[in-house]
Structure 1
């Protein structure tokens, strides 16, 4: 058993503890003490000069924590400079119209589900007979509504206007040329 204890490597000493990034960022902003705030590179330079054993991904971690602190409201970003929010400033309002204040419900009140979208159905008379199944309404002329569908081209058609010319060649596009009548020579 004594040999097993010698085979285990000794535990590595813990790395010198650095403060958390939010603490380092706040300390940097307070130390720089610029009235217009401190930009990211100034905060990074201060942290690098103050703390020696930083992680290799220091710039990535700094960016991540600055963004997180900005979103949570711990920092304010104005013209690419980070600063502490003014405690006397009014809270930042979101976009759009603010919601109406809701009145508290009296005790014992029942909360109804929200109204569905769309137009409500017409009220029905409870004593009327059930409606008959809908039949197709005819317009009176016997024709269906709307533009009629195009007819498929067939080889034999009944109308003479749609018939192919006598030569058998298909008609070309556009208006056909004007046919000049043959003039018979006038005899003297």
Structure 2
């Protein structure tokens, strides 16, 4: 999304600390609800899980579509920010695995919001921008791992993202989160250097 589109989607004005905490809790509760219940998740239940009133939710997000879009963007941001955070505190292979697990959870939430996102995210350049952000985050992890000779040289982030996307679809169709972890093990086996 371009800066202009982002400004149009939601004005940038600083929130008070308590309002920011409420928004963060709402988006976290919404992501969990959308992942488990889909876009039909109850707004009242989301507000309750966040520990706020439904009025607070509607003041920040006047429509469910805006809540879905904000949740999606927050989850993308968190996933991208996780890459350098993980490499700072974990060995490269563990950081890569942890990020992949988070990616699968992100995809579960995204799949739960898919119908609503199809209405909200209609610009193809926005989708390509999100893919580029995720590829950059994964490149950070792969570069750190390759730099320590943990992964095979030349592993392309886009290839790994495609594999992770397939894993998330398979696991979602089978309704087995544990299956995703096993498939991540197989993917890592192909990435990690002998």
Give the TM interval when normalised to the shorter protein.
under 0.3
State TM-score, norm by structure 1.
Answer: 0.26
State TM-score, norm by structure 2.
Answer: 0.26
Kindly name which structure, 1 or 2, has the bigger radius of gyration based on alpha carbons. 1
Higher helix content, 1 or 2: 2
